[in-house]
A and B are shown apart, each in its own frame.
Chain A
Amino acid sequence: MKKFQTVLFACLMIVMLFTACQPAPTPTAAPSAPAASAPSTATELTFYYPVAVAGPITQIIDGYIAKFEQANPDIKVKAVLSGGYGDTLTKIQTTIKGGGTPPDVAVLLSTDLYSLVDSNAIMPMDDAIKAAGGDTLTSDFYPAYLANSNYQGHIWSLPFQRSIPVLFYNKDMFKTAGLDPAKPPTTYQEMVDDAKKLTKADGSTWGLEISSDGIPYWLFQSFVIGSGSNVFSASNKVTFDSPVVAQSLQDFMDLSGKDKVMPTGILLWANMPNDFANGKAAMIWHSSGSLTNILKQAKFDVGVSYTVGEKGFGAPTGGGNMYILKGISPEHQAAAFKFVQFMTSPDIQADWSIHTGYVASRKSAYDTQAMKDNITKVPQAGVAPAGLQYAGPELATHNNAQIQKFLGDAVQAALTGKSAPADALKNAQQQADQVLSQFKE
């Protein structure tokens, strides 16, 4: 009996061991139950997409995919919501590093380009674009957005969900303060003057709020681009310690220091729309994508204008592009590009913009009836696309996350008084140079 018990025990252990060893289902594994109606020759694409704005994003994306599959019965798309931009990039890069199968198509930051090329993760779209119309296709995309797709003479991505920072202002407060609500500020100095009139002495309202947590470099770039310059000059060269950048940082600091139109310290991005809707801030800088959320919350007339630097309007672009991953079969490549073309088509871009607040990446999207009707209903939605003429490239280099952090830390150090702006920027420049020196252009 004892021997039987031992053997039984042993079998139990081994069975438990093996059941525990079941590999967890990976998102790229084929579905275990194939759809009964799908032809066995259907190409199945895996599509990773992040969510960066509020709204029923999954439903909207599923709707687009259903439309696409209807028009292309030989292609099936499996959409996987993969967290934020950072999570999506991490998932893909760790899959590739671990020797696994990456998805076929993914939405990633436009500035992830160099990191993706360095890790040999994506494939260029030149041939597919040429076959789909070449220049007639690319000329319809806003140049400011397409600029992030070029590297080493190839086009690597197509803009899908893009934005720029904009200036939201409380038109009612403008009127009360004696300012013309139809004339938002057009330069840094005008913005400071307006903010001074809007700031209440008892501290219940600040004239202006610009956040500096999370990714401070983005809003900071508005100051620099609005002064006619930028914070980098090549994929392996940054210009953090240039005089224009130093002056821009000083301008940012003066808002809470010298001019006292902004609270001191680091303000949080997540709090800005609430502060604006509550009347705590008369003007804020935030993503164009926050428009829908702000309009919902604000009980006053909301004005939208552009962020400024010393010379005038200026803003970096933001948001994500569609990339096709490397190492997928030629049938998958063809199907993937068809999908990318569909998702960046004018009608889909118009619909996507109306429902999310992103700026449509194609000029012809603004000629569609749906978009024209939307702008009649919500005139503020037409402001951001018109601002693309003032846009400059977003900071994008090799090892981008780390370079962005160096600049962000310098901005925060200056704003909190931890170091003088010139020292902070010089330190950031040195650190960035050290990291970037290992990369060719």
Chain B
Amino acid sequence: MMRRPPNGAAALPYLLILPTLFFVVVFTLWPLIRVIYDSLFVENQAVQVPQFAGLENFLALFMSSAFRDVLYNTLIYVVITVPASTLFALSLALMLNREFKTRGLFRLAFFYPSMLPMVSAATIFLFMYTPGYGLINVFLSFFGVADQNWLGTPSLALPALMILGIWKQTGFYMIFFLAGLQGLPHDIFESARLDGASTLQSIRYITMPLLMGTTLFVTTIAVVNAFETVDQVYIMTSGGPVNSTSMLLFNMYETLFNYLDIGKASAMSVILIAMLLIFTTINFINTERNATYE
């Protein structure tokens, strides 16, 4: 016979999640529905009362070369910074997982950039990238590299932002990898060493598969962070020069708050959400397939 649960306890789970559910609905679900709804209307400075337009906003965006440039810039940024920062983070974590005296100091040094607000970091880097007396140009001149106008040259501006992004986020991901590494059992590595495996082999065949869960998490966070890049653009380049650093979230901000084009901005939001959803789903499926769990 099934034991009847005590009175009131059946409602307990729902009551417990109610506050969180409330916030998720108000700040995530409702805006999502609203933005999808708004993207189907034309509403801008010339059309103050929303007019239904179906998929016209999306069509207009994909046909505009400016928006295609925005997508291209954003994808380049993601495709380069995510693997780079993940790899750096993993290498740093592997190196800093060993025992040595000043280990704590190094961990702090690498983690420190991620504690800075991005706006502060961007303002500092704005002056570091100055032609002539900016620190980066001075440093490079020791290696004989000519003075560069980093933020004023279309081909260099986006790399400049990418360097800042990687510098800032690597420490953050390193912490996750460190935590993952410290959760790994020691006996497997010992037996591998007894069998004659080199360090690299043990990293490749033991550490990596066991870290798949952490790697999945880090890459997902890294991709979402990369898509959300806006602070550096706002502070350092405003999307220039010649739209070479115009990225999706910044363009959305401009479209909504500077041009008051609610329809187009909503359409861009939907595109961003769709891209992130697709990526996260593929990432999960892929990594789950390859993951080995304890």
Interface of A toward B, CB cutoff 8 Å:
2-3, 6-7, 9-10, 13, 16-17, 20, 86, 90, 93-94, 97, 115, 118-120, 212-214, 263-268, 270-271, 274-275, 278, 280, 398-399, 401-402, 405, 408-409, 412-413, 416, 418, 435, 438-439
Q: Is the CB of A271 within 8 A of B130?
A: yes
Which of B12, B131, B242 is in CB contact (< 8 Å) with A418? B242
Q: Is B1 an interface residue (CB 8 A)?
A: no
Contact residues, B229-268 vs A (CB, 8 A): 237-238, 240-243, 254, 257-260
Q: Is B8 an interface residue (CB 8 A)?
A: yes
Collect the chain A residues with CB atoms within 8 Å of residue B152's CB: 212-213, 265-268
Q: Is the CB of B242 within 8 A of A412?
A: yes
Check A6/B242 contact, CB under 8 A, given A13-B19, A266-B149: no
Given the complex of chains A and B, what is the CA–CA distance between A115 and B46 in angstroms?
Answer: 9
Q: Is the CB of A438 within 8 A of B18?
A: no
Q: Which 4 A-B pairs give the minimum distances between C-beta atoms?
A: A266-B152, A438-B46, A6-B8, A401-B258
Interface of B toward A, CB cutoff 8 Å:
6-9, 11-12, 15-16, 18-19, 22-23, 44-48, 126, 130-133, 149, 151-154, 237-238, 240-243, 254, 257-260
Check A115/B260 contact, CB under 8 A, given A9-B12, A9-B16: yes
Collect the chain B residues with CB atoms within 8 Å of residue A275's CB: 132
Collect the chain B residues with CB atoms within 8 Å of residue A16's CB: 19
Check A6/B9 contact, CB under 8 A, given A93-B260, A399-B259: yes
Collect the chain B residues with CB atoms within 8 Å of residue A405's CB: 254
Q: Is the CB of A2 within 8 A of B259?
A: no
Q: Is the CB of B153 within 8 A of A416?
A: yes
Determine the main DSSP class of B at the interface with A.
loop
Check A263/B149 contact, CB under 8 A, given A90-B257, A118-B48, A213-B237: yes
Closest B residue to A398 by beta carbon equals B45
Q: Is the CB of A213 within 8 A of B238?
A: yes
Given the complex of chains A and B, what is the CA–CA distance between A194 and B47 in angstroms?
Answer: 50
Q: Is the CB of A3 within 8 A of B8?
A: yes
Closest A residue to B262 by beta carbon equals A97
What are 11 A-B pairs with beta-carbon distances under 8 A?
Answer: A2-B6, A2-B9, A13-B16, A213-B241, A264-B149, A399-B46, A402-B259, A409-B240, A418-B154, A418-B242, A435-B46
Given the complex of chains A and B, what is the CA–CA distance between A408 and B254 in angstroms?
Answer: 15
Which of B130, B237, B243 is in CB contact (< 8 Å) with A409? B243
B159 shortest CB reach to chain A, Å: 15
Collect the chain A residues with CB atoms within 8 Å of residue B6's CB: 2-3
Collect the chain B residues with CB atoms within 8 Å of residue A266's CB: 149, 151-153, 240-241
Determine the main DSSP class of A at the interface with B.
helix
A431 shortest CB reach to chain B, Å: 8
Which of B7, B45, B258 is in CB contact (< 8 Å) with A86? B258
Q: Is the CB of A10 within 8 A of B11?
A: yes
B286 shortest CB reach to chain A, Å: 38
Q: Is the CB of B241 within 8 A of A412?
A: yes
With contacts A10-B15, A265-B153, A412-B242 known, what are 8 further pairs, Cβ within 8 A? A20-B23, A90-B257, A94-B257, A118-B48, A266-B149, A266-B151, A278-B133, A416-B154
Closest A residue to B148 by beta carbon equals A265
Collect the chain A residues with CB atoms within 8 Å of residue B130's CB: 268, 271, 274
Q: Is the CB of A265 within 8 A of B19?
A: no
Given the complex of chains A and B, what is the CA–CA distance between A268 and B6 in angstroms?
Answer: 70
Q: Is the CB of B240 within 8 A of A6?
A: no
A425 shortest CB reach to chain B, Å: 14
Closest B residue to A93 by beta carbon equals B260
Q: Is the CB of B242 within 8 A of A118?
A: no
Closest A residue to B153 by beta carbon equals A265
B120 shortest CB reach to chain A, Å: 16
Collect the chain B residues with CB atoms within 8 Å of residue A438's CB: 46-47
Given the complex of chains A and B, what is the CA–CA distance between A123 and B171 in angstroms?
Answer: 53
Q: Is the CB of A119 within 8 A of B241?
A: no
Collect the chain B residues with CB atoms within 8 Å of residue A9's CB: 12, 15-16
Q: Is the CB of A399 within 8 A of B45?
A: yes
Q: Is the CB of A119 within 8 A of B45?
A: yes
Q: Is the CB of A213 within 8 A of B11?
A: no
Given the complex of chains A and B, what is the CA–CA distance between A237 and B15 in angstroms?
Answer: 60
Q: Is the CB of A7 within 8 A of B240?
A: no
Residue of A90, A266, A398 most packed against chain B (CB within 10 A): A266
Closest B residue to A211 by beta carbon equals B152
Given the complex of chains A and B, what is the CA–CA distance between A416 and B16 in angstroms?
Answer: 59
